[in-house]
Structure 1
Amino acid sequence: MSQSAHLDALRERYGERYRWLLLLSVMVGTMASIMSSTIINVAIPDMSQHFTLGQERAQWATSGFMAAMTVSMLTTPWLLARYGYRRTYVGAMLLLMGGGIVGGLSSQFALVLAARVAEGLAAGVVQPIPAIIIMRAFGPQEQGRASGLFGMGVVLAPAIGPSIGGVLVDLFGWRSIFFMVVPFCLASLWLAYKFVPVTAPGGVAANRKGATLDWRGLLLAAAGTLCLLNGMVELHGGTWLHASLLLAGAVAALLAFVAWERRMARQGNEALMNLALFGYRPFAMGSVVAFIYGTALFGSTYLIPVYLQLGLGLSPSYVGTLLLPAGLVLAVTIAMVGRLADRQPTYWLVSIGLALLAASFALMTTVHFSTAMWLLVAWATLGRIGLGFILPSLNLGAMRPLDPSLIAQGASAINFVRMLGGAIGVSLCGIVLEWRLAAHGDSFASASTSPARLAAFNESFLMLAALCTLAMVAAWQLRASRAERRQ
């Protein structure tokens, strides 16, 4: 059976519900990849103690994952065109599951870090796929609803994950966190062979003899990302000379990447990132929002669990329980806002979300040792409501004006930009936190917490609030979307 005939057979067998079954299938794999990116934060203190690591080195279990995920996202359009949806998706799920198993069995931190990098590579390939399917398989009047339902399912994993993860860490230690993704990976593999087509995006046949991967562009992107992350770590823990050299290397790699991608486009070759995307103003502004939003989102995902454990002295299982209500509210908000995104201008929804997220970070500074826990839950929940407004709206506002031939590239690029912001956000929060701890005369070497430690955390939260406020300026530019004006 030909590839197009296989897709037609699936549509004929399952009818109108096929696109929803396809979305469900990739949602399970994306849940596994997102869970693997966030659940590790609950285990960082326990892992640090097991391997006798400082906070900066332990943080690389998160930052290494983020760096690998960020770079591998750029390969998704090429992989889909060459191998099709199913082979690409199944390969990523096998790599993710292998990383979870190896990480859980590791006896050395270097092997744990390698497993995290493997998981990050797999997660990066998977995460642009749902946006491509939503923009390709659903009409404009259903894209918001599909984004909302998909987002609701995806956030349930990290919402419930920290609660289960916290209990597992208390009972079985940090290793159990790695094994949590295995059941999701197994389920995703079964669904993939049942519902995911072998075709490439657009229903065309995958071409294994197509254009070769832009390896030079990929190496430049990887070099720039690694130089940037290491440069930020050196800003605090190393010397100014090393930091300056690494950050200069990041700028040089970025300029070389842009020049190379332009050259590839001029020669008619398949570029790793099609820079024509940024000629669409809504996409360009949406990318700015995605970068800052990624910095705040992933920075806070790292910062909040560390704050609750090392700042307020709470146990991992209690931390997971406190964060659960906020995660459940986020899931409900996404489903509701997804329907609104089909009828309301997305720049309004994104701006409202950023304002709520900034307010949540600012209000976290009112928490102290005698604060009632319900107030802490309320501030965290407010931030998750803000995320619920942003998640289903941002991609739609940025990608609706794109030419259909650019959708796969657009989904890859905006996810890359968001995750680059996320990788920076994790490092930035760690750097600012360590800097402010030293300024207040405290460090994590001390087992007991103190008002000085809370002050350092508060200043880190204020930095995130300022970033969200800055992103609102770019979010307003999403109103230029022609697709929105037609609505």
Structure 2
Amino acid sequence: MTTSEMDAGSGARPADDKLDRTVLRIAGVVVLGAIMAVLDTTVVNVALQQLTIEFETSFATIQWVATGYMLALASVIPLTGWAANRFGSKRLYMAAIVLFLIGSMVAGMAWNVESLIAFRVIQGLGGGMLMPASMTILTKAAGPQRVGRVMAVLGVPMLLGPIAGPILGGWLVDSVSWRWIFYINVPIGLIALWTAWRVLPSEERQPTGRFDFAGLLMLSPGLALLIYGVSDIPAAGGISSTSVWLPMLAGIVLIAGFVVRALNAENPLIDLRLFRNRTFSVAAVTMTLFAVAFFGAMLLLPTYFLLVRGETALQAGLLLAPQGLGAMVVMPIAGRLADRIGAGKVVLPGLVLIVGGLAVFSQVGADTPYWALLSSLFVLGMGMGSSMMPIMSAALSTLTKDNVAEASSSLNIIQQTAGAIGAAVMSVILAGLLATKFGVPTAQGQLAATAAVRDPRTHDVAVTLAADSFASTFVWSLILVALCFIPALFLPRKRPAMPEDEQTAPPMLAH
């Protein structure tokens, strides 16, 4: 019997087949939801100053509009793996959209800062379920042999969110109203909800054990406390503050307790036995280091344009566009190559490109030519497009269909937590360097730099000192990316094998 006959008999998909119309339609639906969730992590940032004035509050308080969303996002992710198996990925995805839409509508109607923070938490609960549910749906639809290509599709909004968010948010705040940064989600969400009902394949509910409420009560608050403590480092001026180390310690203790329980429980919230899979573990470690470096750099780039080069929020967002363009050019190619030759052979060159892009910023000054900055951003985007989603696809490619939901949840927890830590670490490094150069306490570093830059008498000296601080901080980001090479060397360098339970025909459309 020939290989083709065996494939035909088993219903297996050829290793080099293209994404068929069914998978592309499913990908288009889930990307709509992913765009909403990813954009809302960045679109609010440029509106914080306007919201501070609108509600007559402090910047420390208004920051919770962003932090509350992030905490809710991380807290709900552990629930999604069990919920996807118990109720089906389609039902979970649609429920997440509904919850996100409710949060968006009431956030746009907020009457004070407390109500806005509360409604952003509702948004975060829905947004936290959208991305892992999207990953689960796409992976099940395409199978392991094509997971790189569908992850590339899903990765576009993940990489473009930090680029498009500030641009969209700046335009809406300047030209319409801050309320429309939330209302804009309503038409997108309604379209996503209708197309999900029409297009996504229905699934039979998988048998699940009793829900691990004890695990949820340890992991979700543990993640929330850890991220809260880390996110408070810049405002507190260091890790020695009680508002930083106490919640971080409590979060670590709760997460450690969850790990002990998960290793012994019959039906844990997240099956840690997934980490016995060598490829999954290596990809998880690579993703951790990558997220720390990636989100840290994302925080630094717009701040450099705002503080050192004196750009507006909208202009800073537009200047970051080459990064998104670089990712768009490379990502589809990287996804296809990851399926054909293995993620390891794609991720390593991608990391080289990121190192090259960051190397320019590690030497940045107050008058570095814009052509050099924009060219470096394009190279940086190409590197990100070649790295992030192939790492994800490597983690999922060797798992069975039954493990995909829990694995997607685990990877999203890792990405969100590591990203928050990376952003905080880079903030602390930058604030410390600025404080040293301007002779103020760490907590006042950025404020002092901003005041000095705006003062015509000290402007020239201040921008030089600030640029030096950014360059030194980018060196640390460069070091973190370089560390990614160590686990990335162990990523698979050949076409992923097809698990036994994938020897079935692609799912049929149903609604």
Instruction: Give 1:415's aligned residue.
Output: 412
Shift of the 313–131 alpha-carbon distance from structure 1 to 2, 3 Å rule, reads: same
Q: For residues 244 and 84 of structure 1, what CA distance do their matches in structure 2 show?
A: 39
Checking the alignment, whether the CA contact within 8 Å between 1:68 and 1:117 is kept in structure 2 is yes
1:102 aligns with 2:106: yes
1:298 aligns with 2:295: yes
Instruction: After superposing the two structures, state which structure 1 stretch, 15-24 or 290-299, moved more.
Output: 15-24
Shift of 1:276: 0.5
Checking the alignment, whether the CA contact within 8 Å between 2:341 and 2:493 is kept in structure 1 is no
Instruction: Give 1:393's aligned residue.
Output: 390
Shift of the 296–50 alpha-carbon distance from structure 1 to 2, 3 Å rule, reads: farther
Instruction: Give 2:260's aligned residue.
Output: 259
1:215 to 207, 213, 231: 213
Shift of the 159–443 alpha-carbon distance from structure 1 to 2, 3 Å rule, reads: closer
Instruction: Give 1:194's aligned residue.
Output: 198
Shift of the 345–84 alpha-carbon distance from structure 1 to 2, 3 Å rule, reads: closer
1:336 aligns with 2:333: yes
Shift of 1:153: 5.7
Q: For residues 166 and 414 of structure 2, what CA distance do their matches in structure 1 show?
A: 26
Segments of 4+ moved more than 6 angstroms: none
Instruction: Give 1:463's aligned residue.
Output: 476
1:443 aligns with 2:446: yes
Where do 5+ consecutive residues of structure 2 fail to align?
A: 1-18, 439-444, 454-461, 500-511
Checking the alignment, whether the CA contact within 8 Å between 1:63 and 1:423 is kept in structure 2 is no
1:176 aligns with 2:180: yes
Checking the alignment, whether the CA contact within 8 Å between 1:168 and 1:176 is kept in structure 2 is yes
Shift of the 103–296 alpha-carbon distance from structure 1 to 2, 3 Å rule, reads: farther
Q: Counterpart amino acid of 1:78?
A: W
Q: Counterpart amino acid of 2:216?
A: L
Query: What are the equivalent positions in structure 2 for 1:8-407 lying under 5 Å apart?
Result: 17-51=21-55, 57-152=61-156, 155-156=159-160, 159-199=163-203, 204-205=204-205, 210-233=208-231, 235=233, 237=236, 240=240, 242=242, 243-264=244-265, 268=266, 270-407=267-404
Instruction: Give 2:496's aligned residue.
Output: 483
Shift of the 291–149 alpha-carbon distance from structure 1 to 2, 3 Å rule, reads: same
Shift of 1:277: 0.6
Instruction: Give 2:508's aligned residue.
Output: none
Partner secondary structure for residue 366 of structure 1: coil
For each residue in 1:227-265, what CA deviation from the matched residue of structure 2 results, as whole angstroms up to 9, or x when unmatched?
32333355551672614433322321121011111221x
Instruction: After superposing the two structures, state which structure 1 stretch, 446-455 or 68-77, moved more.
Output: 446-455
Shift of 1:220: 1.2
For each residue in 1:51-96, what CA deviation from the matched residue of structure 2 results, as whole angstroms up to 9, or x when unmatched?
5666655444333322222221211121122222332112211221
1:454 to 467, 476, 494: 467
For each residue in 1:285-314, what CA deviation from the matched residue of structure 2 results, as whole angstroms up to 9, or x when unmatched?
111111122222223333322332233221
Checking the alignment, whether the CA contact within 8 Å between 1:397 and 1:481 is kept in structure 2 is no
- Give the total of aligned pairs: 462
Q: Counterpart amino acid of 2:486?
A: V
Q: For residues 44 and 336 of structure 1, what CA distance do their matches in structure 2 show?
A: 37
For each residue in 1:339-365, what CA deviation from the matched residue of structure 2 results, as whole angstroms up to 9, or x when unmatched?
111212211222222232233233213
For each residue in 1:35-66, what CA deviation from the matched residue of structure 2 results, as whole angstroms up to 9, or x when unmatched?
11122233334444545666655444333322
Partner secondary structure for residue 40 of structure 2: helix
Q: Counterpart amino acid of 2:48?
A: I
Taking structure 1 as the reference length, the TM-score comes to 0.86
Q: For residues 447 and 410 of structure 2, what CA distance do their matches in structure 1 show?
A: 37
Instruction: After superposing the two structures, state which structure 1 stretch, 222-231 or 383-392, moved more.
Output: 222-231
Instruction: After superposing the two structures, state which structure 1 stretch, 56-65 or 213-222, moved more.
Output: 56-65
Checking the alignment, whether the CA contact within 8 Å between 1:308 and 1:319 is kept in structure 2 is yes
Q: For residues 32 and 85 of structure 2, what CA distance do their matches in structure 1 show?
A: 22
Partner secondary structure for residue 193 of structure 1: helix
Q: For residues 233 and 193 of structure 1, what CA distance do their matches in structure 2 show?
A: 37
Q: For residues 352 and 42 of structure 2, what CA distance do their matches in structure 1 show?
A: 23
Q: For residues 456 and 145 of structure 1, what CA distance do their matches in structure 2 show?
A: 39
Q: Counterpart amino acid of 1:313?
A: G
Partner secondary structure for residue 270 of structure 2: coil
Shift of the 427–119 alpha-carbon distance from structure 1 to 2, 3 Å rule, reads: farther
Partner secondary structure for residue 41 of structure 2: helix
Taking structure 2 as the reference length, the TM-score comes to 0.82
Q: Counterpart amino acid of 2:488?
A: A
Partner secondary structure for residue 213 of structure 1: coil
Shift of 1:142: 2.8
Shift of 1:214: 1.8
Shift of 1:413: 0.7
Q: Counterpart amino acid of 1:43?
A: A
RMSD (Å), alpha carbons: 2.8
Checking the alignment, whether the CA contact within 8 Å between 1:221 and 1:254 is kept in structure 2 is yes
Greater Rg over alpha carbons, structure: 2
Shift of 1:438: 1.5
Checking the alignment, whether the CA contact within 8 Å between 1:31 and 1:155 is kept in structure 2 is no
Partner secondary structure for residue 341 of structure 2: coil
Shift of the 86–469 alpha-carbon distance from structure 1 to 2, 3 Å rule, reads: same
Q: For residues 45 and 310 of structure 1, what CA distance do their matches in structure 2 show?
A: 15
Q: Which has the higher helix share?
A: 1
Q: For residues 463 and 173 of structure 1, what CA distance do their matches in structure 2 show?
A: 38
Q: For residues 57 and 247 of structure 2, what CA distance do their matches in structure 1 show?
A: 24
Shift of 1:338: 1.2
Where do 5+ consecutive residues of structure 1 fail to align?
A: 1-14
Shift of the 112–295 alpha-carbon distance from structure 1 to 2, 3 Å rule, reads: farther
Shift of 1:22: 1.8
Q: For residues 139 and 296 of structure 2, what CA distance do their matches in structure 1 show?
A: 29
Checking the alignment, whether the CA contact within 8 Å between 1:358 and 1:465 is kept in structure 2 is yes
For each residue in 1:361-388, what CA deviation from the matched residue of structure 2 results, as whole angstroms up to 9, or x when unmatched?
3321333332332222222222111110
Shift of the 337–183 alpha-carbon distance from structure 1 to 2, 3 Å rule, reads: same
Partner secondary structure for residue 37 of structure 1: coil
Shift of 1:485: 12
